[in-house]
Structure 1
């Protein structure tokens, strides 16, 4: 029988935001013991970046705390790091939370990710409500995940939702660990957790060269327009603290770069240019023209990588058959070791290894070094590489 949690067992926590409240939170956490359940709520689709607007923390003996970092971001790290840096964190899908936590100066001593554990155990679906229901008999409604978490004051219902995200996370981690031990996958999990912990980096400024718009055009003049539009949009978005796409969508930048309108009327006729930006059309047109005038125009960097599967099949049919054999072996091995699809290795990674070995003259070891595969994956993937004739 599955029980749906509607409120936290100790009630809905208050929001802690002042420096004195943060220090009190640190003392409460210090009185507890064991791992600390951690979660964040962000507003990346609304605000300029994906910084955390709420931290949810729970520890045995300490209860649940909701931290508002926005008013005193410079205080959050110093106030909480003494406890948080000495504890293992339990998160669900840690890769989405760690950059915003690292940006606050908060780093864990160790990590346990219940979503990764579920993938290694091949438990689906692995969303928090379903995984909790499967392993410990508790679930919760995910009704406020897409809210504007920068809003203040936070509605009571939102605080209730946020607290429930960590309410049974520690118990869920224990259940996952027991199953990992029983399946002989604890070492695999440890390698995955360490990889996620050290791969994550604090939030960093975006670059126009990495934008979707820049990767949608090829000509130098088009890239010059995209560069100008992106940089202008980014400066405005930062000053206004709004998500850049809300000021000008990437598809609009691409359309302007490709069609190069010469007047506001021509710009307004572009399907990709939002009608509600009519009053700002002249501004964006001037920015685009300034981009064209700014020389030298940028060039698209040559990107090294594997050719498409269709081109591979057409140009190199013999080695393509080796790739197909490897992909078939990958499915068989993943089924045999009972992990979620792509947990062992993504097809993209496998194609890269095969291409490097078969067409770039690399040894298997050299090709593997170019990937981010962990030791357990390399060991388990040996039959896959043999099927491709790589070892």
Structure 2
């Protein structure tokens, strides 16, 4: 463990003197802590060795960023770790994502342990993947596990890189890696409490107001304690209270469905939230405006044109994905296809489809692979709807 500024300076010097790409991984405490900060950052570089950094003890990661920021970083499922790495000032200029590479190569299972075993013949134990990495001191078996997560990343990158070249997918992978690296984070939800599991069962504004106030109270306490909200009171308990609308503190305490480690120890806090919801004047609407499309299963009855476009284009993209030897969602984001089918460009030619896909964020290689077949499918769909309408009349 690198847990002091002096040891950190020595580790930075070693990593700077190493050769080639840098294997990087990070461990969080998801499910235990509120924050998604990194509690351990692992790095490996040939000629340098393996280093496990404790971000809670390192005052400034800038020297490390300066030393290796210009090198290629190798991560597995990079989108999961980039945010917490950037939080401490570690932001790569280029990446190689071994999980994404495995997907593009059509490997049936893309977990790190599986890919390492298939390509390198090494079995990785994954027994500590869901551990509470905020624990201090970290047990030695956990540190060994964490080190193994990065020590083989460079060898894995070499194997996957060769296969990408052989499959003619090297340029495709480069575009995908760059897209992951520069993807904008999702903006925060306007009403994050609406993500409560099971809240769809609540219909009235009063029930929703109680759910909202309980969620806000739980979230504030979770932030204060830096603990995962569900470890205080689970979502199911909040929804149960909002459904039953207990009218007194005693009724709340007597509700068997109201569980969780803090459900009784902080009962006054939760009752204050329930009471606020029961007397709130600003009742939330059951539904809020959204740019989400109607579920495709409902298109056939009310939007047969869009349904025909989606069905035929989806099959064409599925067939193309099989030819490319990769999952269909990697060939083209399903939401991109749904949106183009729902509201095709006025110019539904190949160029019009290309422009529409580009506006949605599709990468150039994805557009090259799918624009023509989507345009062809739309033409066939229009003809099939016209034929069906003529036959019905």
Please confirm whether the aligned pair reaches a TM-score higher than 0.5, indicating the same fold: yes
Deviations 1:160-213 (A, max 9, x none): 100000111001101111111111111111111111111165x99886436512
Matches of 1:30 and 1:274, distance apart in 2: 51
SS in 2 for 1:89: strand
Name the structure 2 match of 1:5. none
Per-residue Cα deviation, 1:323-352 (whole angstroms, up to 9, x for no partner)? 211121121000011112411124333222
Question: 1:166 & 1:266 partners in 2: Cα distance?
Answer: 52
Answer yes or no: is the 8 Å Cα contact 1:121–1:180 preserved in 2: yes
Provide the residue aligned with 1:232 in structure 2: 217
From 301, 323, 327, the counterpart of 2:288: 301
Deviation at 1:364, TM superposition (A): 3.2
Q: Deviations over 1:29-78 (max 9, x none)?
A: 11112110000111021011111110110011100000011134xx2422
Contact 1:58 1:64 (C-alpha < 8 Å) held by counterparts: yes
Q: Find the counterpart in structure 2 of residue 68 from structure 1.
A: 54
2:229 is the alignment partner of 1:244: yes
Query: What's the RMSD between the two structures over aligned residues?
Result: 2.7
Q: How does 1:37-116 map to 2 (within 5 A)?
A: 37-72=23-58, 75-116=59-100
Report the more deviating stretch, 177-186 or 311-320. 311-320
Give the number of aligned pairs. 373
1:377 counterpart = 2:363: no
Answer 1 or 2: higher relative contact order, Cα 8 Å, separation at least 6.
Answer: 1
295-304 vs 118-127, greater mean Cα deviation: 295-304
Distance 1:325 1:270 in 2: 51
1:255 aligned to 2:240? yes
- C-alpha distance after superposition, 1:209-239 (max 9, x if no partner): 3651296355443443333222221221111
What are the equivalent positions in structure 2 for 1:81-230 lying under 5 Å apart?
81-199=65-183, 201=185, 208-209=191-192, 211-213=194-196, 216=200, 217=202, 219-230=204-215
Unaligned runs of 5+ in 1: 1-14
The 10-residue stretch of structure 1 (296-305 or 131-140) with the greater mean CA deviation from structure 2 = 296-305
Distance of 2:278 and 2:355 partners within structure 1:
43
Displacement of 1:282: 4.1
1:33 aligns with 2:22: no
SS of alignment partner, residue 61 of structure 2: helix
Give the Cα–Cα distance (whole angstroms) in 2 for the partners of residues 272 and 387 of structure 1: 54
8 Å CA contact retained: 2:40, 2:53: yes
- 1:280: which partner in 2? 266
CA contact (8 A) 1:364 1:390 kept: no
CA contact (8 A) 2:23 2:75 kept: yes
What is the rounded CA distance, in whole Å, between the counterparts of 1:295 and 1:103 in structure 2?
39
CA distance in 2, matches of 1:316, 1:207: 29
Separation in 2 of the partners of 1:68 and 1:289? 43
Q: Sort the Cα spacing of 1:324 and 1:129 in 2 relative to 1 into closer, same or farther, 3 A.
A: same
Q: Does the CA contact (< 8 Å) of 2:105 and 2:326 recur in 1?
A: yes
TM-score, length of structure 2 as denominator length: 0.86
CA distance in 2 between counterparts of 1:182 and 1:332 reads 22
What TM-score does the superposition give when structure 1 sets the normalisation length? 0.87
Does the CA contact (< 8 Å) of 2:193 and 2:215 recur in 1? no
Deviates more, 1:51-60 or 1:373-382: 373-382
